[in-house]
């Protein structure tokens, strides 16, 4: 258990530094942003306490907000996603259920389950983030386009990370 907490802490800082140092400057066609840091939150164990999940989401989002100067947008979006996460996981429970300390990953549940798990969560995160950033629905279609392209970009990079670093290596 203690080793798992240390590995989670190391993974937290790896995702954080990668987001802040590299992905902050990568934007495709001025619309597609990659917020890979949410993948850290998605890969937390399934049986985690919801309050711990929301605290981890707040902490990750707050630190990202400090680097992005976004005044709590990332923190709010992460806490909301962590609140919804357990409900979403209960809706898409595989037939055998989840094992204790099981982590959502392609290796444990397969590609189809992982895509069904990840894309709606990333879409929710990006929708909240971009629509609050836009200040409403005045630029609805452009903001929706940013949400869709960023969701696809972030989800693609998340799947690539899953294949590059299988969960047994860093958990």
- Check residue 100 and give its pLDDT: 66
CA dihedral 40, 106, 94, 54 (to 10 degrees): 0
DSSP 75: H
State yes or no: pLDDT of 168 exceeds 90.
no
What number is the average pLDDT over the span 118-124? 95
* Model confidence, pTM: 0.88
Count of structural domains within the chain? 1
Cα 75 to Cα 94: distance, rounded to the nearest angstrom: 30
Furthest-apart CA atoms within the chain: distance in Å:
49
Range of the domain at 68: 2-170
CATH label of the domain that carries residue 165: 1.10.1760
Average pLDDT of the chain, as a whole number = 87
Which ranges in 22-166 belong to alpha helices (H)?
Answer: 37-42, 50-68, 73-91, 106-109, 111-134, 140-164
Instruction: Look at 2-6, 51-55, 67-71, 116-120 and tell me which has the smallest mean pLDDT.
Output: 2-6
Tens of pLDDT, residue by residue over 9-48, are: 888 888 888 888 888 888 888 889 999 999 999 988 888 8
Q: Are 65 and 72 in contact (CB under 8 A)?
A: yes
């Amino acid at each position: 258990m203690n080793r798992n907490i240390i590995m989670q802490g190391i993974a937290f800082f790896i995702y954080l530094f990668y987001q802040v140092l590299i992905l902050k400057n990568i934007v495709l066609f001025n619309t597609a942003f990659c917020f890979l840091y949410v993948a850290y939150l998605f890969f937390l164990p399934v049986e985690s306490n919801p309050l711990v999940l929301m605290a981890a989401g707040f902490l990750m989002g707050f630190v990202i907000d400090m680097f992005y100067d976004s005044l709590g947008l990332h923190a709010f979006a992460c806490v909301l996603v962590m609140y919804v996460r357990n409900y979403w996981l209960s809706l898409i429970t595989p037939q055998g259920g989840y094992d204790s300390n099981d982590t959502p990953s392609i290796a444990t549940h397969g590609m189809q389950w992982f895509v069904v798990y990840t894309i709606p969560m990333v879409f929710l995160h990006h929708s909240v983030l971009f629509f609050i950033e836009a200040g409403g629905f005045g630029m609805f279609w452009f903001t929706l386009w940013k949400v869709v392209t960023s969701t696809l970009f972030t989800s693609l990079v998340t799947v690539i990370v899953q294949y590059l670093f299988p969960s047994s290596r860093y958990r």
